[in-house]
Chain A
Amino acid sequence: MAIDWPKTALEVLNEEPLVVKNPKTWYHIHTYGGWGQFFKGLRNKKILATRCTNPQCGEKRLWLPPRANCPDCWHDMQWVEAPQTGTIYTHSVVTYPGELFKLPPGTPLISVEIEGVCTKLMSWLKEGKPKFGMKIKAVFNTERPTNSILDLAWVPA
C-alpha cells in the first residue's frame, strides 16, 4: 500500500527566489503559577501585592507586580492588598501598537506610582488625558475579564 502525498501545501509567495508561507496556528498553555492570585484578585476588584515574610530581611517593601519570592532573600512573600489610588509617574499614547494588542490604537499607557509600593506598575488609562502627577483610581474589568493585566485600568480620581 502506498502512502498518499500530503493534502496541504505550502503556499508559494514568490518563484525567484522561491519563497513559501509556513503557517502557524497553535496556542501556548501558560501558567501564572504563584502570581495567579494577582489576576484572580482583579476579578474581586482587589490589587494584590506581596511583601517578604522573612524577619531577617532588610527591605520588606511592597512589590507590584507581585513576586512569590523576595528578590533580596528568596523567601516566600505574603499577599497584601495595595491601595487603589495613585498618581501618573509617566505616560505615552501608543499610536502604532504591535499585533496582539487588545485595545485600540491611541490608548494611553501609564506607569503608576502608588504610596507604599516600591515599583511603578505599568497600566493604562481608561478615561481622560494623562498628565504627570495626575491623581487616578483603579477600575476593574469584571464584565468580560481578559484574565490578563488589562483587567486593571485607571481613571481620573
Chain B
Amino acid sequence: MIKFGPGNLRIPKFEKPVYVVAGGLTDYRKKYPEKNTSELCTMALRMAVEENDLKVDPEEFRRMVNWVVYSQFADHFGDQLLAAAKIHDYLGFDPLGNIEVKTGGATGGSAVLAAAQAVASGYADCVPVVGWERMDEVTTKVGNSYIASAACKDFESELGWMYAAYYALMAQRYQYENNVPHETLARIACKNHLYAYYSPFSQNPGKYTVEDILKNDIVSDPLTFLECCVMSVGAAVLIVCDEKVANRLTDRPVRLTAICGGSHTLRTADRRHMPILLLPNETEATYKEYFTHKRTDWPGFSSFLASRMAAYLAYNMAGIKDPVEDFDLLETHDAFTISDVQTYEDIGLRPYGRGREFIESGEAYFEGKLPTNLSGGLIGTMHAVGATGIWQIVEVLWQLQGKYDKFHGDPKMWERYGKKKPADWKSLQLKNPKRACTISHAGTGSHVTCAILEKP
C-alpha cells in the first residue's frame, strides 16, 4: 500500500512565472541518413529562433541564453555518450552550463520541467530545451530490444523484448475489466493517423477506416501495428523563459502555469492495490461502485498512478477544476491506443472504467469539446523519444498562438521536407483556444509529466 504523508502530496509552486515563447521541429522519419543528429538539432533550433516572429534577431537571442536543457532517451540508440556535449558545442552555446535529462518516454516532458524549474527559481531566465532521438542506426527488431531494455532486464525484458507486448498485457486486462470493444481503440488510431495527414512533420499519416486498423497485422494481441507509435528520427526545440524575457521576445507569450511529474514501479507487476487518488472533479462517491469481481485492484494493470499523480499535482497547481471544461486542447502520449484510453481516465476526462466515452462521444475530435492530438500524436506523427514531450508542447504553443496554419499549411513547409501539401489539406487551427494540457509518459507508466499552458 502506498500511504501518502503530507509532504508527498505537496502542491508544487513556481517562485516566478514561467513562459514558453517559441518552438522548432524537424520533420520525422523512420530513417534520416541525410542529416546527423547535431544537424537535426540545429534545424529545430533555427526554426524556433528564426521562424517564430521573435522581436530579436538570432544573434541577439544567442546572447540572451543562459542555460540549456538537453533531452535524449537512449544512449543505446545514438551510440554516443555525452551526445549533449557534442550538440551543445555544435549549437554554439559553449561555455554556458547545461544538463541532459533522461526519463524514458517522458524525457521530453521532464526536460521542460527541468527548464521550468530553472526559470521559476531565478537560476536562469532564457532556456532552450533541445530534444532528439536517432532510432535508425539499428534494425527495427534491435530497436525494439533496446526499448525493451527500458523494462526490468532481470525479470521482464526477456519476456518478448518488446514493449508493445507489455502494453498488450495491459490492453487485455483493461478490456476484460471494462468491456471495451477493439473498435473503440481503433477509432483513436484512425483519428491520429488522420490528423497526421495534415502535418508536414508526420511520419505515418493515413486515412484509415476502423476496419483497416483492425485488419492490420497484430504485433502482440490485441494491438495491431497501426495502433502503435512509430519509431522516429528527429529533433524538437522549445524556448522557456521568465516574464521579462518573454515580453522582449514575443507579443504572444504563453504561460506554463504548471508542469508536474509522477512515477510508479517500472514493472507493472509490482503495482500494489491502494485507494484511488482523487482529482478535483471526483469524490469518493465517484468510485462507490467501481470495484467488482473483475476490477479487483487499483491502479492494477488498467490505470497509471504516475499519470494520476502528475495530473493531481498539475491541476491543483494551475487551479484546474474539470479538465474537459477547463482545457481547450490536449496532447496525450498515445504510444498505443490502449494507453490513450487509460490516460483519459488517469487525467480525469472520465472516471475510471469509462474512458471509452471520451472517444465515443466525439469530444476528442477537432470538432469536439476537447480536441486531442491534433498534432497526429505518436501513432501518426512521431516518437523520436527525446524530442516527443517537447514537440507536444511546441504543437500546443502554436495552437495557442494561432500559428497552426503557419507551420502546417504553408506549401513551402511541405516542400522543405520533400513532400507535397495534400490537395484536401484542412486547417486544424482551433478558434481562440486559451488553455492546453500535454502528457509525457514513460515505460508502462514509470514516469509521467503533466504540463498546463495558458494564454495570459
Contacts and interface: CB of A to CB of B under 8 A. Distances in A.
B144 interface: yes
A94 B176 contact: no
Interface string B154-177: 111011111011101111110010
A65 B162 contact: no
B169 A97 contact: no
Contacts of A107: 160
Contacts of B272: 61, 118-119
Contacts of A35: 154
Nearest to A96: B219
Nearest to B220: A94
Contact of A65 (B141, B154, B160): B154
A148 interface: yes
A65 B155 contact: yes
B96 interface: no
A120 B141 contact: no
Contacts of B170: 90
A98 B267 contact: no
Given A90-B170, A92-B171, A111-B169, A99 B142 contact: yes
B1 A59 contact: yes
B165 A100 contact: no
B270 A95 contact: no
A58 B219 CA distance: 42
Interface string A110-151: 010000001111111000000010000000000000001110
A120 B301 contact: yes
A92 B169 contact: yes
B220 A120 contact: no
B301 A97 contact: no
B34 interface: yes
Contacts of A123: 159
Contacts of B166: 122
B270 A65 contact: yes
B160 A98 contact: yes
B176 A99 contact: no
A96 B220 CA distance: 7
B156 A122 contact: yes
Interface stretch (A4-12, A14-22, A48-56): A14-22
Given A94-B162, A109-B165, A119-B269, A149 B172 contact: no
Contacts of B316: none
A35 B153 CA distance: 12
A31 to B, nearest CB: 10
A32 interface: yes
B217 interface: yes
Interface string A82-101: 00000001111111111111
Contacts of A61: 272
B250 interface: no
Interface in B244-297: 267-272
B161 A99 contact: yes
A95 B161 contact: no
A100 B417 CA distance: 35
A101 B267 CA distance: 18
A95 B1 contact: no
Given A92-B171, A94-B219, A111-B268, 17 more contacts: A19-B33, A22-B137, A35-B154, A65-B154, A92-B172, A92-B221, A95-B219, A98-B145, A98-B147, A101-B160, A109-B159, A111-B169, A119-B272, A122-B169, A122-B267, A123-B159, A149-B156
Interface of B: 1, 3, 33-34, 79, 137, 139, 141-145, 147-148, 152-156, 158-162, 164-166, 168-173, 176, 217-222, 267-272, 301
Across the A-B interface, the 7 shortest Cβ-Cβ residue pairs: A98-B161, A98-B144, A92-B168, A90-B173, A98-B145, A65-B155, A99-B145
